[in-house]
Amino acid sequence: MTHETPRPSAAPKSPSELRIVIIGAGMSGVLSAIQLQESGYDNFSVYEKGTRIGGTWNENTYPGLSCDVPSHLYSYSFELNPDWSHRYSPGEEIQAYFENVARRHGIPSKLRLGQEVVRCVFENGRWEIALADGSRDSADVVIAATGVLHHPSVPDFEGLDRFAGPQFHSARWDHSVSLEGKRVGVVGTGSTAIQITTAVVDRVAEYKLFQRTPQWVMPQENPLYSEAEKKLFRDRPETLRALNADIRLLFTEGFSNAVVDADSPQLAAIHEACEANLEESVRDPELKEKLRPNYRAACKRLIISGEFYAAIQRPNANLVTDPIERIEESGVRTADGTLHELDVLVLATGFRVDRFVRPMEVVGRNGVALNDVWEKGPFAYLAITVPEFPNLFMLNGPNGPVGNFSLIDIAECQFAYILQLIERVRSGACREIAASREATRRFDAERREAAKKTIWTSGCQSWYLDADGVPMAWPWTFDRFKDEMREPRLDDFDLR
């Protein structure tokens, strides 16, 4: 697709004259598309490298997949869903929700599925966009909604390719492989591995969970919503809104605001609840000690599960804590010399969280490559904009509040902010807008300082930390985030 490149101009444009490209059709890409349309910006396309929308929920299909944010909170504010089946609904239902919402808002006509953006270059005041199939586009504004937990991290275990049976990363689940009656090994003890464990342990002959680091597990029930409750939500939408508001308050005060204050009483209560869960749920003292972390609860991303401890105590389940030495044809060899024979090996080993828009090549003003700017680690002013990359706005970019809040709430706040930046370009107030270097430096220094108070620096290794051990995530409360997102401080921007 080719578009004629107009000369940059500060004359106001109608919303339809502004060409916008959204990259990614996950939760935040679909949100951007809906909100742009609602605001009258109809000249946009959404490029998605997958063949369906949904992002995370399209890519992750492992058994037991669900969202550990309650479903009535993990919903668009303008599309609350009376029909969620559970407090924490399964992944398939979440995927169907996004597909339904997108359809209802007419987004499919804007989607370019199976189209991967490989390069965005800022030239003559516009973004020139190249796609993997050789086609091109050109836009005044690019919205990068490319996701965070997205690029599988596969450990380079010696001999991994020698394993004779099926093996795959949790985000690339091979549904052609039957687990019934098999000896199955899962590496990792993050949220993913814990969900897989509870879902598959009863289907397999032998289950081995390879744990490098134990996790604190917060018990949570996952009740079904009754038909009567769903009818009430449908008939009286105000009850649904009230439920959403109640859960938001509980989640924000009880967890989100707590993790950024390591001394908070809420964190102490979470730690106690996790300790009590371990004490009460695990019978065998040896297993209990193997499962006991030596760091504080919520230092790593907290595991939410009412079933994991029961699952790992099934007679066919085994927690392996000896380090993995190598992978052999018939299984996993641990450092104590044991060969754990397996038919299927699953790597629930997490994601490369420092990628963001990469591997897409992004080149800003004067030929500066984002990859070089991010050489020491990705950063963005308020998680949205990078100096010298004008009119490029990220949703859930680096240093955002990922991991502690409903990502949908976050994306909605971010989009409202981005829309105000777009509006400045449309109105002719400027042609190009990006955070200034000075404001970005200040923000980065402040967030590094604030990060010292968070629970993530209390003595554990996790995906929150960058290569220098500094938490990458937003280190302040959700209220502060909402305040920041209310209106751009134009002094912090370089407007041209």
- Residues at the site binding ligand N01, with contacts judged by CB under 6 A: 66-68, 149, 155, 187-193, 195, 212-213, 301, 324, 348-351, 403, 461, 463
What are the DSSP calls for 406-466, one per residue?
-HHHHHHHHHHHHHHHHHHHHHTS-S-EEE-HHHHHHHHHHHHHHHTTSGGGSS---TTB-
The distance of closest approach from Cβ of residue 143 to ligand N01 in the complex, given in angstroms and rounded to an integer, is: 23
Six-digit token pair at 470?
């500094």
The distance of closest approach from Cβ of residue 221 to ligand N01 in the complex, given in angstroms and rounded to an integer, is: 15
Cβ nearer to ligand N01, comparing 154 with 416: 154
Query: Which among 186, 218, 148 is positioned nearest to 349, based on CA atoms?
Result: 186
Cβ nearer to ligand N01, comparing 353 with 434: 353
Cβ nearer to ligand N01, comparing 158 with 246: 158
The distance of closest approach from Cβ of residue 216 to ligand N01 in the complex, given in angstroms and rounded to an integer, is: 12
CA 11 to chain centroid = 38
Helices in 75-130 by DSSP H: which ranges? Answer: 91-104
349: left (phi over 0), alpha (psi -120 to 50) or beta: alpha
Cβ nearer to ligand N01, comparing 66 with 391: 66
Cβ nearer to ligand N01, comparing 406 with 477: 406
The distance of closest approach from Cβ of residue 153 to ligand N01 in the complex, given in angstroms and rounded to an integer, is: 7
What are the DSSP calls for 258-299, one per residue?
TTT-TT-HHHHHHHHHHHHHHHHH---HHHHHHT--SS-TTS
Rounded distance between C-alpha atoms, residue 419 and residue 122, angstroms: 20
The distance of closest approach from Cβ of residue 172 to ligand N01 in the complex, given in angstroms and rounded to an integer, is: 12
CA dihedral for 449, 455, 460, 461, sign (positive or negative): negative
Cβ nearer to ligand N01, comparing 149 with 291: 149
Six-digit token pair at 445?
């220094």
Rg, Å, the chain Cα set: 23
The distance of closest approach from Cβ of residue 453 to ligand N01 in the complex, given in angstroms and rounded to an integer, is: 21
Cβ nearer to ligand N01, comparing 111 with 411: 411
**Residues sharing a CB contact under 8 Å with residue 252, sequence separation 6 or more, in sequence order:** 405, 478, 479
The distance of closest approach from Cβ of residue 339 to ligand N01 in the complex, given in angstroms and rounded to an integer, is: 17
**Residues sharing a CB contact under 8 Å with residue 305, sequence separation 6 or more, in sequence order:** 194, 195, 198, 217, 218, 219, 220
Cβ nearer to ligand N01, comparing 91 with 387: 91
Rounded distance between C-alpha atoms, residue 308 and residue 229, angstroms: 28
Cβ nearer to ligand N01, comparing 53 with 332: 332
Residue 206's φ and ψ, nearest 5 degrees, are: -135, 140
Six-digit token pair at 381?
């002013």
The distance of closest approach from Cβ of residue 56 to ligand N01 in the complex, given in angstroms and rounded to an integer, is: 8
Cα pseudo-dihedral 408, 413, 415, 418, rounded to 10: -150
Six-digit token pair at 370?
């984002």
The distance of closest approach from Cβ of residue 197 to ligand N01 in the complex, given in angstroms and rounded to an integer, is: 11
Cβ nearer to ligand N01, comparing 172 with 482: 172
Using CB atoms within 10 A of its CB, is residue 111 exposed (0-12), middle (13-18) or buried (19+)? buried
Q: CB nearest ligand N01: which residue?
A: 190
The sheet that has 141-144: what strands, in order across it?
111-113, 44-48, 20-23, 141-144, 392-394
The distance of closest approach from Cβ of residue 247 to ligand N01 in the complex, given in angstroms and rounded to an integer, is: 15
